[in-house]
Amino acid sequence: MDDIQKKEMGMRIKALREKRGISQEELAEILGMKRTNISNYEAGRAVPPGNIIRDLATELRSTADHILGIESDHIPSWASSKDILDFKKMLEEEHEIMFDGVSMNAADKKRVNDILTGLFWEAKEMNRKEKK
């Protein structure tokens, strides 16, 4: 991970923490670490280990992929924590994806999953607009 990616990850962690409304000190206490660790992650001076990324994602109501910058395009900035949980629940449901009775290969399954992701967020956005 280069310096730019570290800083971007830090900015995502900070934005999620602030959206949740908790201080660095509070987050550090929840995760059982020092505030300076959180400060270093947010400033891009250090990269959290995998288990901490997982815990950050849980506490900040996000995903490890989002924190790592892997799927930032898939979750809109307006998505609430409930929207994200609904999305995760949809993706966790086990469905055998078949075409004409034959299981799809991994690449085709990913493509279908990407399409479903887009449709999910499009429907959520339409529902948000209708409520306004």
In whole angstroms, what is the distance from residue 70 CA to residue 132 CA? 31
pLDDT of amino acid 72: 46
The model's pTM is: 0.56
Report pLDDT for 132. 67
- Mean pLDDT by 10-residue block, N- to C-terminus, for the chain (132 residues)? 88 92 96 97 95 93 84 66 77 70 75 77 82 72
Q: What is the dihedral of CA 118, 119, 120, 122, to 10 degrees?
A: 90
Question: Which pLDDT does position 39 carry in this prediction?
Answer: 97
pLDDT at site 94:
65
Tell me what pLDDT residue 95 has: 67
- The whole-number pLDDT of residue 121 equals 80
